[in-house]
Structure 1
Amino acid sequence: MPSLVAPAIPVGALAASDQPTLPIGSGVLLRPWRIIDAEAVMKAFQDPEIQRWHVRRADSVEEAREWIEGWQSSWSDETGGHWAVAEAEGDELLGRMSLKSLHLEDGKAEVAYWMMPTARGSGICTRAVTTLTRWALEQGGFHRLELEHSTANQASCRVAIKAGFEGEGVLRGAALHADGWHDMHLHARVRTEA
């Protein structure tokens, strides 16, 4: 059945270009993941806060490598975009930014992130979300970006608000965490707000 509306992002548009590296200022950038990041990813997923909100852990460097391979291939598969937040000099891993659940026809994606304990509270996460959002809405062709977090995760809520994501409501019992079902706060930005 033919669509009456052209897709917001044509199939193949992302895969036709290399995943960009995006500077966020103060010597920090968003860059595509590298296999050599596996040890740092495994270390990150030992952190109780990352486990609490992302409901995963990495039990080996090999497992973290497999995750990174999936993150890398998601760009060419047009199913996601995953970036390491890293120092431009020295390349220390500071966190992760992602566009996931891509719906190219509707120009929609979800933003997700985590930060290493040493980078929390520094403003890097907010700058990284803002940079990724600007790229996705202005160059990436997306129309709407959503961001969900547990209503118990106040730090994530602060980042969302500071990055310009307007609160849209609460999704009751929407995500299963290790301690049970959590209500999720939904935030969003649309291109007209970029």
Structure 2
Amino acid sequence: MPLLVPPTVPVGSLAAHPQPSLPAGGGVRLRPWAVRDAPAVMDAYQDPEIQRWHVRRADSVAEAAEWIAAWQAGWAAESEAHWAVVDAGTDALLGRAALKALNLADGSAEVAYWTAPAARGSGVCPRAVEAMASWAFGTGFRRLVLEHAVANRASCRVAEKTGFAPEGVHRSAWLQTDGRHDVHTHARLNDTAPPVLEGRG
């Protein structure tokens, strides 16, 4: 069945090239995941806050390696784009940033992220989200959606700092380990001016 409008992002335009690394300023870089990251991923998912909001844990390095393989496959399938957020100097893992549910036809995607406990409070996550959003918009995506549980105030601050405007609340939308949560939806459009992050370098 032919579409009546061309896709916003041409099919095949992502998979035709290796997934890029993205500078994020402030000594932070986004790079494609590697199998060597599995031990650090497993360690990160022992953190109670990551478990609380992402509703999963990794019980072994092998399991974390399987997740990484799936994240890598998302690029080739043009269904997801996952990055390791690392220290630009040491390559130590600081967090994860991802664009999920890539819709090339509409030019939309969903933003996801977490920050390792030792890196919290240093501006890593806003830098990573801003770098990822800039790449997405430069690639042709038109709309990025960021959702978080209303109780997750830290995630809401990331959305606010990176220019994702609030759009409303979905009541009782997510089931977490402590029960159902209302979800706050933010979005950023390609015509939105990028925010000025403090100390950005």
TM-score interval, normalised by the smaller of the two chains: over 0.9
Whole-angstrom CA distance in 2 between matches of 1:180 and 1:79: 29
Q: Which amino acid aligns with 2:116?
A: M
Deviant stretches of 4+, over 6 Å: none
Whole-angstrom CA distance in 1 between matches of 2:88 and 2:126: 17
Whole-angstrom CA distance in 2 between matches of 1:134 and 1:101: 18
Q: Which position in structure 2 is the counterpart of 1:91?
A: 91
Deviations 1:44-69 (A, max 9, x none): 00000000000000000000000000
Contact in 1 for aligned 2:82/2:99 (Cα 8 Å): yes
Contact in 1 for aligned 2:82/2:98 (Cα 8 Å): yes
How far did residue 121 of structure 1 move?
0.8
Q: Which position in structure 2 is the counterpart of 1:135?
A: 135
Q: Which position in structure 1 is the counterpart of 2:115?
A: 115
How far did residue 26 of structure 1 move?
2.1
| Secondary structure, aligned partner of 1:56 | coil
How far did residue 95 of structure 1 move?
0.1
Q: How does 1:43-192 map to 2 (within 5 A)?
A: 43-138=43-138, 140-192=139-191
What 5-or-longer segments of structure 1 have no aligned partner?
none
Deviations 1:97-145 (A, max 9, x none): 000011110000000000001111111111111111111012x211100
Aligned-residue CA RMSD (Å): 0.8
Q: Which amino acid aligns with 1:75?
A: W
Whole-angstrom CA distance in 2 between matches of 1:115 and 1:99: 15
Whole-angstrom CA distance in 1 between matches of 2:160 and 2:88: 26
- Count of matched residue positions in the alignment of Structure 1 and Structure 2: 193
Identity rate, percent: 62
